Every structure is written in structure tokens, then in C-alpha cells.
């Protein structure tokens, strides 16, 4: 398989608090990789390094390296804005723009210079279909996105991310506040999307990680405890701490 994202002894500290401790991991292209572990284990910090959102934090010290396609993304020669166009992010709480459903999708492409309305409608339809939302909204694209349900808003945010044509999609607890039906639709969408994108899913729901991830990484107190195929991690974990976490003995 081909490595898309890699870290080498990545260390991240906020003042005196070290939140990632020499993490080395290879994320394979066109797969879903699940990051799991209790709160404070460093999962969200790791994806904030990958999308360079960590740039907005204060008093941060970073050591080691992180690469995409073999090229370091931590050096001054990397444009963070361009990087974030390659790395789309969906957060735990959906934040649709206070505009129509269509305008939420068209906003990003317009910023990239796409002005033809026919092209924008094609992009909107394609991305909404990929997010498993098209059939529910195709007859009300001019309706405010704020009128959608929470699960629909989250899928809209996924579609909005796809409209920017990223190579990587990072999802930080995207289903944490959603009902089982909405969660299933997002999982179905991600399973379809992995053929064209490299996906990292951060989730405290171990069952979700087991259902849809190809690879699983277990983090604890800033350390990468175990990383392997999802089948191996969940059936024959090599670390007792991983097994205890999966079995719900702590979390």
C-alpha cells in the first residue's frame, strides 16, 4: 500500500504539558484509519497538526516531523492555506453557513474562481450525492441550511468539504451528537468515499471504528499504544491496554 500521511517521532507540547509523545504512524492512501482513545489522549491534536490548525494555538512547541506524500508539512516553506485545501476537516459540531443549502456548497468553489451557475449546480449535486444527502434536499436547495436536522447539517458540512476537492478528509467525532440513522448515513458515505480519499476518523465510539475503519490506532495519554489493521486490533490486540479500552474497562 502507499503511505499518504506519516509522522516521525512527532511531539507536541503546550507550555509544560506534552500532549503527543514521539508518535510515529503511517496512514495509507485510500483507506479509513480510525483514531480512538479516551479524552486527552492526543487524537484531536494529531489531526490539528495534519491540517495545520495547530498554527492558531498559543505556546505550542512541535518536534519530530509530519509528512504528506513524503513532503514535510511543518516547515516554513509550506503554505498552510494551500495545505488546508488539500486536507478537508469535518468537526464534531456541524457549522453550516447561514445561507441556502446550495450556497453552502457553492461558497468554496466560488472562492476558487468557479462562477458559472451550471458548473456550481453540478458540483453541488455531485457532492451532495457523495454525502448521501442529495435525495433529501434536491427539491429545496434554496432553503436555509439552518433548517436542516443535525444529521443533515453534518452531511452538508461533509459535502461542503468535498466541494473543495481535498485529497484527505479528517473527521473529529463527526457523529458524537447524532442519532443512529444519521450516524449510519455518514458511515455509508465514508465507506464509499475512501476509494477516492484518504480518511482519518477520530471517534470515542469503538464500535464505529470497528465497523468502518480499515486500520485502527489506539492512543493513550499522548502515546500511540497500538496501530494495525482494524481486524487485528479488535480481535487479537497486542497490548493489554488496548484490549481493556475496547472492552470498556476505562475510557
Q: Are 236 and 77 in contact (CB under 8 A)?
A: no
The set of residues, in sequence order, having a beta carbon less than 8 Å from that of 122 and lying 6+ positions away, is none
Q: Which cell is 52 given? A: 495545520
- What do you get for the CA distance between the two ends of the chain, in Å? 32
Q: Are 219 and 43 in contact (CB under 8 A)?
A: yes
Q: In the chain, what is the greatest distance between 2 CA atoms, to the nearest angstrom?
A: 57
Mean pLDDT by 10 residues, the chain (251 residues): 96 96 98 96 97 94 97 91 93 95 96 94 98 97 97 97 96 93 96 97 96 98 98 97 93 73
The set of residues, in sequence order, having a beta carbon less than 8 Å from that of 65 and lying 6+ positions away, is 7, 8, 9, 10, 72, 74
pTM: predicted TM-score of the whole model, two decimal places: 0.95
Q: Which cell is 198 given? A: 484518504
Q: Which cell is 77 given? A: 516553506
What is the C-alpha separation between 102 and 20, in angstroms, rounded?
39
Q: Are 102 and 142 in contact (CB under 8 A)?
A: yes
Q: Are 96 and 146 in contact (CB under 8 A)?
A: yes
Q: Are 151 and 207 in contact (CB under 8 A)?
A: no
Specify the pLDDT at position 77.
87
Specify the pLDDT at position 76.
84
Amino acid at each position: 500500500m502507499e503511505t499518504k500521511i506519516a509522522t516521525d517521532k512527532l511531539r507536541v507540547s503546550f507550555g509544560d504539558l506534552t500532549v503527543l509523545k514521539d508518535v510515529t504512524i503511517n496512514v495509507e492512501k485510500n483507506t479509513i484509519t480510525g483514531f480512538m482513545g479516551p479524552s486527552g489522549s492526543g487524537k484531536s491534536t494529531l489531526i490539528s497538526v495534519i491540517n495545520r490548525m495547530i498554527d492558531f494555538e498559543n505556546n505550542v512547541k512541535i518536534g519530530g516531523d509530519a509528512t504528506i506524500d513524503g513532503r514535510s508539512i511543518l516547515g516554513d516553506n509550506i503554505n498552510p492555506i494551500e495545505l488546508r485545501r488539500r486536507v478537508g476537516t469535518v468537526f464534531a459540531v456541524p457549522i453550516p453557513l447561514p445561507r441556502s443549502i446550495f450556497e453552502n456548497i457553492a461558497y468554496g468553489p466560488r472562492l476558487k474562481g468557479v462562477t458559472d451557475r451550471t458548473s456550481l449546480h453540478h458540483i453541488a449535486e455531485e457532492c451532495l450525492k457523495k454525502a448521501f444527502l442529495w435525495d433529501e434536499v434536491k427539491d429545496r436547495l434554496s432553503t436555509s441550511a439552518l433548517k436542516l436536522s443535525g444529521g443533515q447539517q453534518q452531511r452538508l458540512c461533509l459535502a461542503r468539504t468535498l466541494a473543495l476537492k481535498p485529497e484527505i478528509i479528517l473527521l473529529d467525532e463527526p457523529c458524537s451528537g447524532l442519532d443512529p440513522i444519521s450516524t449510519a448515513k455518514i458511515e455509508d458515505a465514508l465507506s464509499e468515499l475512501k476509494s477516492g480519499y484518504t480518511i482519518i476518523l477520530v471517534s470515542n465510539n469503538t464500535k464505529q471504528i470497528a465497523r468502518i475503519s480499515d486500520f485502527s490506532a489506539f492512543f493513550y495519554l499522548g502515546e500511540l499504544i497500538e496501530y494495525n489493521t482494524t481486524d487485528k486490533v479488535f480481535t487479537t490486540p497486542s497490548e493489554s491496554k488496548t484490549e481493556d479500552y475496547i472492552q470498556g474497562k476505562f475510557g
